[in-house]
Structure 1
Amino acid sequence: MSTFRDVFGHEPQATASAPGRVNLLGEHTDYQGGFVLPTAIPQRTTVSLGRNDSGEHVLHSANSHTTLRVPVGEVGTGFAPYLTGCLNLSGVQEGLDVHVYGTVPSGGLSSSASLEVATLRALRELYGLELDDVALALRGVQVEHQFVGVKCGVMDQMASSLADTRTMLLIDTRTLARRAVPFPAGAEVLVIDSGVPRRLAESGYNERRAQVEEASRLLGVKELRDVQDITLVETLPPVLRERARHVVGENARVLAALQADAPAFGRLMNASHASLQGDYAVSHPRVDELVALLQAHPDVFGARMTGAGFGGAVVALVREGRAVAVADDVLSGYGHEGRRVVP
């Protein structure tokens, strides 16, 4: 892998990293003020910065061996908006050399949020920005909205900025209140990349957000977080009814998981996947196949797709000490380009 010095011929002035995340429960609820339950994963994105005394940013991805040049104040194309969005929102008015290297797989594990948080952490170090970890996460969300074109919620950036790998992080995405929650006793987390790529800005993500916003309007509530009786969504027209049913049910599943043992937690994950597959229609046939193989394994308590969907990764809660063996068993029968990510 090329280093910053290899590419630019000088040492960086700031370097920072941030983890990817996997969400155990609470999918597609964070843009409706709901509850989410992510944890950080070991894989990270590292960003290094250095001034270049020019009027352009030189952006290098060590993963793709690609270098982009973008004039200061502009956005650029390809992977550039994730970086230039951070630079522009942080008021950077000088050219920077930027080196990026990441081990977070794309698709469901928040590689983009990891990139944004790492970039903002490096900028905070370089310029002494007064950004706490929550404000930093919210700036990452602004980057997605204003520069990338994905109307995401706050979960991914909050998890990348604040979560660790030892606990789950319960986040109330309306108030941003949060607390660490232990994993169910006797269980561990397994994450498998399905091998099916996806691109959120080209998927139905923004469409789903518009649908649940319309459902909220028709129900007369600020957000579906405010619907306590799930039967109320049955008054909505088709499609909006199904989308709202998922969000309301998913919020209830997160809250139920806080008191659940491993088997009960697994059943909630299974129900979540069924809802994402049916009511929210954001899964993929290969993802469903991988989830079914996991759910059928005797050492798996439950499994579901994770992330926005349309491909990407799956997460399973498995018997403690059995994650690697479960992954080997399941991947041998999967027949696609899947691979174990965690542990």
Structure 2
Amino acid sequence: MTHTSYEEAFGRAPQATAQAPGRVNLLGEHTDYQGGFVLPTAIPQQATVALGRNGTDEHVLYSANLDQTIRVPVGEVGSGFAPYLTGCFALSGVQEGLNAFITSDVPSGGLSSSAALEVATLRALRDLADLDLDDVALALRGVQVEHEFVGVKCGVMDQMASSLADTRTMLLIDTRSLDRRAVPFPAGAEVLVIDSGVPRRLAESGYNERRAQVEEAARLLGVPQLRDVTDPAAVETLPPILRERARHVVTENNRVLAALEPGVDAVRFGQLMNASHASLKGDYAVSHERVDELVALLQAHPDVYGARMTGAGFGGAVVALVRQGQATATAQAVLAGYSEQGSQVVP
């Protein structure tokens, strides 16, 4: 039986409810686990988590989107979507059974639906248990959940963006120092996000492999992280594969910094996005042929300044910088030429 509220699912009111947004990244992909720079923004779509104590020794987790209930003994991780919540519970010292009601309109694949779920869960826990967690510490706890319970060695961008970004500006994050500041969108432009309809699973993909490759590249170059390399020519001494992976990280960091230079307009920003996609497709090899098709259609549209895949890759969403007021018409025109079932537009 499908439940539409916590009260309907559990017969009582929740004790804490919180939301957190998904995010889309404009520039700075696959650099956050090498101490690099990123430029995400929050999207309007959010994950919502309602929590309440149940007086038992098991967690009862209900996803309205999946119409699925998972029961997990306190202290265990569980399977399916459970680790995203039970990891938050474990790291927050929860030792009693909780009921959780989860709903989300954040599309899966490249828009940080998992980070939104973690941040919403941790926000609800912060209220429920009066946890001493500021927004940065909360984001870092979400990263720890991914590493220790989900099995994805992600960087800090997704959880930081979900915890700290808004929809009105981009959030420049130095993922080494965690310094951050709001950056305005290029004048006369707006953001368009389209889900390619190609599903992906990070833990089953090459994501962790890519991280291991760039860590080895940094080791061979004698630097703590590829963030410390600014000249792309420096990576040419590396063996094949590591060279290409490192070249992407170095040039991608440079693209973010170039986007922050005075006088950068929508045209220049779009060029940097196009170059980012070419690097993600070629050097980092994390795109997908259907994603490339969608990006090419966007890049060819006269009202699009630039477009690229966004997120970890291997499917998922694409992002475009579009002439102000033209996002809806552009999406309609592009999707008319793109037949992938399940594609959707995120305004």
* Fold shared per TM-score above 0.5: yes
Which secondary structure does the structure 2 equivalent of 1:191 belong to?
A: strand
Aligned equivalents of 2:53 and 2:153: distance in 1?
31
- 1:269-284 pair list within 5 angstroms: 269-284=273-288
Answer whether contact 2:210 2:245 (CA < 8 A) is retained: yes
Cross-structure match for 1:110: 112
2:293 to 284, 289, 300: 289
Which secondary structure does the structure 1 equivalent of 2:155 belong to?
A: coil
Q: 1:338: how far off?
A: 5.1
Cross-structure match for 1:245: 247
1:164 to 148, 163, 166: 166
Amino acid at match of 1:76: G
Which secondary structure does the structure 1 equivalent of 2:256 belong to?
A: helix
1:300 to 300, 304, 309: 304
TM-score (norm 2): 0.98
Q: 1:182: how far off?
A: 0.1
Aligned equivalents of 1:234 and 1:206: distance in 2?
23
Amino acid at match of 1:310: F
Q: 1:282-324: per-residue Cα shift (whole Å, max 9, x none)?
A: 0000000000000000000000000000000000000000000
Q: 1:34-87: per-residue Cα shift (whole Å, max 9, x none)?
A: 000000000000000001000000000000000000000110000000000000
Q: 1:2: how far off?
A: 1.3
Q: 1:217-276: per-residue Cα shift (whole Å, max 9, x none)?
A: 000000000002110100000000000000000000001111321000000000000000
Cross-structure match for 2:319: 315
Aligned equivalents of 2:341 and 2:38: distance in 1?
29
- 1:1-343 pair list within 5 angstroms: 2-259=4-261, 260-337=264-341, 339-343=343-347
Root-mean-square deviation over aligned CA pairs: 0.7
Aligned equivalents of 2:56 and 2:301: distance in 1?
57
Q: Percent identity?
A: 80
TM-score (norm 1): 0.99
Aligned equivalents of 2:325 and 2:315: distance in 1?
27
Amino acid at match of 1:300: V
Aligned equivalents of 1:276 and 1:310: distance in 2?
10
Note the residue ranges of structure 2 that are not aligned, 5 or more in a row: none
Answer whether contact 1:49 1:99 (CA < 8 A) is retained: yes
Does 220-229 or 1-10 show the bigger shift?
1-10
Aligned equivalents of 1:57 and 1:228: distance in 2?
48
Q: Give the aligned length.
A: 343
Amino acid at match of 1:150: V
Amino acid at match of 1:61: S
